[in-house]
Amino acid sequence: MAENWKHKSHLDQYRIDGKIAIVTGGGQGIGESCAHALVEAGANVIIVGRNEDNLNAVSTELNKKGQSSYFVADLVNTVEIKALQDYVAKKYKRADILINNAGIGQWKSALDITTEDWDLMIKTNLSSAFQLSQQFGKMMIDNKYGKIVNISSISGLIVNSEHSHVHYLTSKAGLIHLTRGLAVEWIKSGVRVNCITPGYTATKMLTDLLLSPDGIKIGKKINELTPAGHMAEVTDISQGVLFFSVPASDYITGQILSIDGGYTLL
């Protein structure tokens, strides 16, 4: 057994040919990049989001490289999450990989956060990830195989000094412990659950926030506080997601990978 590795190709461990992968928030940004990475590695990818035009455009590009489809859903709605699971079960019979990427952000001081702000943040960033993991986890456990990758944030590890967003911090911290809890509970069922905590990444969501009145100053400060000297590109994040999705990471679960240019080291 100790010598079996000599008969395996290391590069083959980065292939996921024929695997069924679901990527939420797949119509743009990190999710779009993740979808491309998974398709390039051989997966059949279903991208999920609210904007059908975006999803259709991304899926068209993905189909030039491999196999892809899309499903329109608002993941705050539990009925639509179940509809997504029904769609995947009926069309593909199984789910091998789930990337919980969908999320929102908002910069707002604690005293100004409304109940509606809080509920939407928690439902979008945390509750939906649990409900999706629950729905697709059942399928993975039945198949004795599955990979779940949660996209949290360095804001789940630290309190950003550049701006206030305690509801966002809470949602992303919860996602980290959700990862650990599911990893322990499902490891003997063949399901691996890991988490990426991206640093500041050049996505449309962050770019829009940086257009706020204080955004330019914050953007400059972010670059100064990042040892790498600049924000991450979306492909920096999707490479980590790909690693957690392929057989090369089969012995890894419950882990939190920070891709942040050294930001959390300081």
Give me the active site residues, please. 168
- Classify 123 as helix, strand or coil: helix
In the 8-state DSSP scheme, what is residue 257?
E
Amino acid at 69: S
Q: Which two tokens stand for residue 13?
A: 């461990």
In the 8-state DSSP scheme, what is residue 112?
G
Q: In what order do the strands lie in the sheet with 44-49?
A: 67-72, 44-49, 20-24, 97-100, 146-151, 191-198, 256-259
Q: Which two tokens stand for residue 66?
A: 């491999």
Residue carrying structure tokens 């639509």 = 80
**Distance between CA 62 and CA 54 in Å, rounded?**
12
| Cα–Cα nearest to 133, from 146, 142, 121, 143 | 146
User: DSSP characters for 5-22?
Assistant: GGGS-TGGGG--TT-EEE
**Distance between CA 38 and CA 243 in Å, rounded?**
10
**Distance between CA 25 and CA 15 in Å, rounded?**
23
| Cα–Cα nearest to 154, from 144, 145, 142, 162 | 162
Packed helices 166-186 and 128-143: angle between N→C axes, nearest 10 degrees: 10
